[in-house]
């Protein structure tokens, strides 16, 4: 489904925004647009998204909206001074020039090298991702509720059409059998073929237009589809499979139909199934 979620994470020295966009896709795809400082978290970001989203193409964009390294330096000033003294003393003891203990040296060897190397960095990032995902899922649910109303309406209409097909097809094999018997009896004399053989062949031909089995399976597929709608877990792929099976049954009915009304009804059912298939591609 098409959706969007955004969050802003603020720390003492950093602020960054996280935006997650979702568009329709049959599969799960993640594209990341990250500052270089976050490259090392790309796999963890994808792993988190996989746990929360089942389908769709997601684009994650992280932007640093405030990058104040000086604020971090002030916060760590006492620690840096303390470390500077220790390293200078060590240099003197070993006979080295203490001038080598410059600012870059201290930052590189600090226990806390900055926001992006803090252990808390991922916790901040994870918090922001979850907030953006929550907003994304709210929008997805809103769209999903509307899709659900439309799908239920179409399923109800398909059931109505199927009942008409069932009613119209009940006597089709018998009617066809009687019609064939009448025509063939006029063309074939009793000497050429026995009445029993003729009746058997006509019954066999008539049975090939019987669509009762397809109708029964269609009802079963519709019941299963309705059950999937009520499931809380992801059911989009199951729905797609069932819709493919419905199309197969409808195609079989169409090939067997010897009735203009049944043919019209079957075409209408297939049209509704195709519309539902388009909607289901948006469902996880």
Displacement of CA 240 from its chain's centroid (Å): 11
Contact 156, 31 (CB under 8 A): no
Q: What are the domain boundaries of the chain?
A: 3-68+116-139, 77-108, 170-210
In this predicted structure, what is the pLDDT of residue 213?
87
Say yes or no to pLDDT of 254 above 80: yes
Q: Is 95 left (phi over 0), alpha (psi -120 to 50) or beta?
A: left
- Which value, to the nearest 10 degrees, does the dihedral of the CA atoms of residues 233, 234, 237, 239 take? 60
pLDDT in tens, 15-60: 889 999 988 777 788 999 998 878 888 999 999 998 888 778 899 9
Model confidence, pTM: 0.62
In this predicted structure, what is the pLDDT of residue 78?
72
In this predicted structure, what is the pLDDT of residue 35?
86
Say yes or no to pLDDT of 67 above 80: no
> Mean pLDDT, to the nearest integer, of 115-129?
74
Q: What is the DSSP string of 25-63?
A: -SSEEEEEE--GGGGGGHHHHHHHHHHH--SEEEEEEEE
Q: Which fold has domain 3-68+116-139?
A: Ribosomal Protein S5; domain 2 (3.30.230)
């Amino acid at each position: 489904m098409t959706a969007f979620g955004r969050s802003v994470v603020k720390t003492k020295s950093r602020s960054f925004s996280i935006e997650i966009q979702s568009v329709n896709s049959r599969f799960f795809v993640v594209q990341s647009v990250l500052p270089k400082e976050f490259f090392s978290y790309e796999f963890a970001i994808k792993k988190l998204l996989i746990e929360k989203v089942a389908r769709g193409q997601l684009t994650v964009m992280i932007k640093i909206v405030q990058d104040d390294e000086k604020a971090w330096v002030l916060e760590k000033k006492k620690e840096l001074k303390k470390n500077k003294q220790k390293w200078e003393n060590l240099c003197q003891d070993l006979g080295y020039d203490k001038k080598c203990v410059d600012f870059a040296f201290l930052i590189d060897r600090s226990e806390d090298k900055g926001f992006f190397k803090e252990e808390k960095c991922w916790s901040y990032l994870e918090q922001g991702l979850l907030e953006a995902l929550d907003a994304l899922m709210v929008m997805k649910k809103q769209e999903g509720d509307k899709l659900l109303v439309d799908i239920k309406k179409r399923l109800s209409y398909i059931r109505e059409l199927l009942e008409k097909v069932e009613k119209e097809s009940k006597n089709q094999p018998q009617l066809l059998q009687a019609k064939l018997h009448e025509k063939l009896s006029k063309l074939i004399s009793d000497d050429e073929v026995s009445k029993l053989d003729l009746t058997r062949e006509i019954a066999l031909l008539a049975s090939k237009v019987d669509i009762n089995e397809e109708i029964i399976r269609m009802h079963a597929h519709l019941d299963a589809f309705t059950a999937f709608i009520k499931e809380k877990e992801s059911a989009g792929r199951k729905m797609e499979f069932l819709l493919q099976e419905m199309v197969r049954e409808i195609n079989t009915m169409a090939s067997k139909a010897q009735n203009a009304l049944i043919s019209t009804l079957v075409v209408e059912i297939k049209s509704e199934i195709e519309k539902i298939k388009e909607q289901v591609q948006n469902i996880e």
